[in-house]
Structure 1
Amino acid sequence: MNEDAIVSPEWLAEHRDDPDVVVVDVRDAWEYDGIGHVPGAVNVPYDAIRAEEHAAEGAEDGADESASESVESGRAGMLPGADTFATLMGEAGITREDTVVAYDDHHGVFAARLLVTALLYGHPPEHLRLLDGDYSAWTREHPASTETPDVAATTYEVTDPEHDPLVDIEAVEEAVDDPDVVVVDTRSPEEYAEGHIPGAVNFDWREVVDEETRGLRPADVVRDVLAEKGIVPEKRVVLYCNTARRISHTYVVLRHLGYEDVDFYEGSLTEWKREGRPLVSE
């Protein structure tokens, strides 16, 4: 992902008919069909891209799988498994050569999870985009559709990512005491106060969101807010939340802003607590 990782509705309107662009709606099927969607968008519901045992967990809570297991098996946190993901993408008519533009109706946090999942399964980062402002931003100025596009199934190839941002629990423990690393808790201040990884700073993922536009706040404002928390490009950043959903949005935002060294603790607090690692309460 790069400075083009987040695109405007205007960009999407201009490019959605490009043959190598696939727009992906990650809302539930009933929303996609009943409420409408970006014309030409395919539907890959968010629950489908999570490991089966976690698919019903809409909130950031309990999980049983360890992030120390392989990505391919789907046991690294909440990942669905390579075969499952390849099937989902293939059924949606997506190939690794396509530029995927994802959106949801929740400030992009669910869509970002799809994009990070694709990244972890080897989709080229320069071909992944998040719609700024979610579905509501699109409908303010552009038409919606209830027609389901006809797509030809493809064989989606899963590979190792160009750069693997996943880190395990031992790497997080080491990062806590490293002055060149900032460990970031992307949950709410209330959750952070109840218990967080020692040394972690709190940066609620919603701090970068403009509630009125539902999109990203101005880049200079976001950079200032990040810097106030010590989250600067000169440091390696390690992100966590509860079940790796909210860190997906922050990961996309940081890469969009040019942060080059950003790591992703997929196991997050679900694994950290299960392994009996210490927490700090405030």
Structure 2
Amino acid sequence: MDGGRTAWAKEGRPTTREKPAFPKTQYRVKRVDWGSRRAYLWEVFNKVVHGEVGRNVLLIDVRSPAEYKGEITAPPEYANEQTQVGGHIPGAVNIPWGQAVDPQTGKFKPIDELKRLYEGAGVTPDKEIITYCRIGERAAHTWFVLKHLLKYPAVRVYDGSWAEGGNLVGAPVKKGDQP
């Protein structure tokens, strides 16, 4: 839903507190190819250690600049969910997820603006791209922008994100505003 709850409310659309009821049913989950959408811890850090990040692989940290720099270990609204270490994965560039939306409407910015945003940071469709944040929710938003709006062919989410990487003893960590 383009714009989320913000746009829904601004457009005066209906809301309810009524709980929906659905009939019981049987549903069989079909095999899902998570590998084309999801990156795992071992894959991400393997790419860092082998020097692939920055060449043919781009890591995009979509958290706030303060989280990326290591100034804070959790966003203020999640103060009880801090990581052991602040900072970011070495080589990751910081493009906060919210830069892809209009702050007034909550809707995605026009395609040409999105292209300028990402290409201006060196994020191009010829690279393998892995997004991450704290637990994957903001990273999934950027994944959607790159994969479905900009049609980049190779985009995945590291859904363990910084909650996993920032709590891993001995993991490579970078602090400050440089990748």
The question of a shared fold, defined as TM-score above 0.5 by the shorter chain, is answered with yes
TM-score by length of 1: 0.50
CA separation of 1:280/1:146 partners in 2, compared to 1, >3 Å: closer, same or farther?
Answer: closer
- Of residues 202, 205, 218, the one that matches 2:110 is 218
Confirm or deny: 8 A CA contact 1:233 1:259 kept in the other structure: yes
Larger relative CO (CA 8 A, sep 6+): 1 or 2?
Answer: 2
Gaps of 5+ in 2: 71-86
Partner of 1:132: 2
CA offset digits 1:186-235 (Å, max 9, x no partner): 11111111111111101101110111011111111011101111111111
Q: 1:132-281, aligned counterparts within 5 Å?
A: 132-139=2-9, 140-164=11-35, 165-176=37-48, 177-178=51-52, 179-194=55-70, 195-257=87-149, 258-273=151-166, 274-281=168-175
Deviation at 1:170, TM superposition (A): 2.5
Following the alignment from structure 2 to structure 1, what is the Cα–Cα distance between the partners of residues 174 and 33? 35
Q: Separation in 1 of the partners of 2:162 and 2:6? A: 31
Query: Identity over aligned residues, as a percent?
Result: 35
* Other-structure match for 1:128: none
Output the amino acid matched with 2:4.
D
- Cα deviation for residue 185 of structure 1 reads 0.6
Shift of 1:280: 1.0
**How many residues align structurally?**
152
Shift of 1:163: 5.0
Flag structure 1 segments of 5+ consecutive residues without an equivalent: 1-130
